[in-house]
Amino acid sequence: MRRMKVGVIGCGNISPIYLQAGRVFEVIDIVACADIDLQRARARAAEFNIPKVLHPDELLADPDVEIVLNLTVPKVHAEINLKAIELGKHVYTEKPLATNREDGRKTVEAARAKGVRLGSAPDTFLGGGLQTCRKLIDEGWIGEPVAATAFMTCRGHESWHPSPEFYYEVGGGPMFDMGPYYLTALVNLIGPVRQVGGMARITFPERLITSQPKYGKVVKVETPTHIAGTMEFANGAIGTLVMSFDVWAAQLPRIEIYGTEGTLSVPDPNTFGGPVRLYRPGNRDWMEIPLTHGYTENSRGLGVADMAAAIQTGRPHRAGGDLAYHVLDVMQAFLDSAGTSRYIPIQSTCERPKPLPMGLRHGQIDA
């Protein structure tokens, strides 16, 4: 299997781990990077020995680039993705797929019409922690899943992120920022969602940046920062979800899955590793389960590599457009429900991605 050539657009805070992926995975080769700030692109290229530094439009048109890896801010994801697809490029984008359903749907339909692959973060569900959880559920260790809880609570990102404004714009907030990790993990473990109901609020209408280099800047908050709700999965399981940038501290689990034969404690879905803990009737305490799969360290880029391998073999890739659109649809539905005080049926659906093979060596995708 050959190494497919990848061009990265967006050289900001998340880019280093993705650029590192070009050295890790056997099926991708990062050949170019671009940013509207060419100085920033040059610095990343020098750091990771990337041969080409281009303007974003130049990268999209570059015949050497087969896969565009879109690491721009969420509000321009759809614009960049659609341009790349129109030019016949495969696209893998950072989460979310888009900031609204219409743009997400256009992106999925455009890729299908053009015959190119569309992938989207997060790919953390392909890490050893969540793949171990998937194996336990598929093998019946907790019986039939009947309920789940998912909690992401923090005080926001303005104290550490160098440019946190986009977290408080429409298309940001805890739901669109962190929701993709939690909802993708749940869909992978339980299956697609049938309907949701939610409530939401903006607790603090302004946020003060205390990180550098924008210390002291005041940010107007445009999107809800505390969302709570419930969801019914297609298989009948009921989930409870809280996503918040308004909480100073909490002692909640990240994700728990409750089954007819036991309970599964799922690791942080924003990571690739463990711990994975299991409780079954008759046990005196929780059992920590050894991880069955690799890629337990920060392996962002795993989804891009899986897509590159899938392009060459013809199989479906795991972090695909249908999954990403379904998660986008569910996230928007929570906000729609909060605004209308009614349950929102989910119009989209997707297949649960196939598990990764066991026993892969580091850098390998297909057994």
Phi, psi of 240 (to 5 degrees): -115, 135
Phi, psi of 226 (to 5 degrees): -140, 115
What average pLDDT score do residues 43-52 get? 97
pLDDT of 192-245, one tens digit each? 999 999 999 999 999 999 999 999 999 999 999 999 999 999 999 999 999 999
Output the pLDDT for position 326: 98
Q: Compute CA distances 246 → 154, 170, 221, 267, whole Å.
A: 6, 17, 12, 22
What average pLDDT score do residues 151-167 get? 95
Of all residues in the chain, what percent carry a pLDDT higher than 70? 100
What average pLDDT score do residues 98-103 get? 97
Q: What is the SS3 assignment for 22-91?
A: HHHCCCEEEEEEECCCHHHHHHHHHHHCCCEEECHHHHHHCCCCCEEEECCCHHHHHHHHHHHHHCCCEE
Output the pLDDT for position 341: 96
The class of domain 4-124+299-320 in CATH terms is: alpha beta
What average pLDDT score do residues 299-320 get? 98
Can you name the CATH fold of 127-289?
Dihydrodipicolinate Reductase; domain 2 (3.30.360)
Output the pLDDT for position 241: 98
- When pLDDT is cut at 50, 70 and 90, the band that residue 187 belongs to is very high
- When pLDDT is cut at 50, 70 and 90, the band that residue 367 belongs to is confident
What average pLDDT score do residues 59-88 get? 97
Q: Please list the residue range(s) of the chain that carry CATH number 3.30.360.10.
A: 127-289
What average pLDDT score do residues 63-81 get? 97
pLDDT of 111-155, one tens digit each? 999 999 999 999 999 999 999 999 999 999 999 999 999 999 999
Q: In what order do the strands lie in the sheet with 262-266?
A: 287-289, 276-279, 262-266, 255-259, 145-153, 238-244, 226-233, 193-201, 344-345
- When pLDDT is cut at 50, 70 and 90, the band that residue 353 belongs to is very high
Mean pLDDT of the chain: 97
List, in order, residues 6 or more apart from 116 with CB less than 8 Å away.
85, 88, 89, 90, 91
Instruction: State the alpha helices, DSSP H only, in 126-217.
Output: 128-138, 173-189
- Strand, helix or coil for residue 12: coil
On the 0-12 / 13-18 / 19+ scale of CB atoms within 10 A, 206 is exposed
Q: Read off the tokens for 80.
A: 């960049």
Output the CA torsion sign for 174, 180, 182, 187. Answer: positive
Output the pLDDT for position 179: 98
Q: Please list the residue range(s) of the chain that carry CATH number 3.40.50.720.
A: 4-124+299-320
Q: Is 90 exceeded by the pLDDT of residue 304?
A: yes
pLDDT of 337-352, one tens digit each? 999 999 999 999 999 9
Output the pLDDT for position 190: 98
* CA–centroid distance for 292 within its chain: 22
